[in-house]
Amino acid sequence: MTGKYKIDYALREQVSDIQHGLNVNQCFQCNVCTSSCDVARFNEKFKPARIVKLAILGIRDVLEEEELWYCTTCFFCFDRCPQLADPTEIILTLRNISAREGNLPKSQRRIAKNILVTGHSVGIEKENVENRRNLELEDLPPTAAKYKDAIEDVQKILKKTGAHKIIRFNFDTMELED
């Protein structure tokens, strides 16, 4: 991150409010979360303590950082944070704010599209359909993907919540808009 930062002190309160009382301000930057994080171990750009610090300082640039999406939500940092600041939730909260502001990365939008189209974030692959046939099983297991009305229900929920607008999904073409 270089140059001028977009400072907005309300971001800290916004995170704190969405966290239902869990307090981002409790973080005292011990970096236990970063040293507990497997993603940080293999990617020097990703440091949960840094993300928490940016939220505390109200630096909105964090909402546009790709690294915000690297967390696997393993909750190791949550377990180990001595201040109960809940860094995982802070990251998830920042992601929610970021997504609402139109910063959802294409990779995440593709996953959301899978849910809209198949009812699952990861669809069943042709190879697995073939394996199931070889085992004399039906092509699809009895999950949402198998039942048209179940997928339609998923679509109704996502439409009603406005999730399709966040991922910029066009129901006429059943594709992402760009």
Q: Which residues bind ligand SF4 (CB under 6 A)?
A: 27-33, 36-37, 39, 48-49, 52, 71-77, 81, 83, 85, 87-88, 91
Nearer to ligand SF4, 73 or 161 (CB): 73
Nearer to ligand SF4, 93 or 155 (CB): 93
Residue whose token pair is 């406005």: 162
Nearer to ligand SF4, 19 or 29 (CB): 29
Nearest approach, Cβ of residue 52 and ligand SF4 (Å): 5
DSSP 22-90: --GGG-----HHHHH-HHHHH-TT--HHHHHHHHHHTBGGGGG-GGGGT-----HHHHH-TT---HHHH
Nearest approach, Cβ of residue 13 and ligand SF4 (Å): 17
131: tokens are 């394996």
Nearest approach, Cβ of residue 161 and ligand SF4 (Å): 24
Nearest approach, Cβ of residue 12 and ligand SF4 (Å): 13
Q: Tell me how far apart the alpha carbons of residues 99 and 162 are, in angstroms, rounded to a whole number.
A: 12
Pairing of strands 169-170, 175-176: antiparallel
Nearer to ligand SF4, 96 or 168 (CB): 96
Nearer to ligand SF4, 19 or 176 (CB): 19
Nearest approach, Cβ of residue 125 and ligand SF4 (Å): 26
Contact 103, 25 (CB under 8 A): no
What percent helix, strand, coil does the chain show, rounded to 5?
A: 60, 5, 40
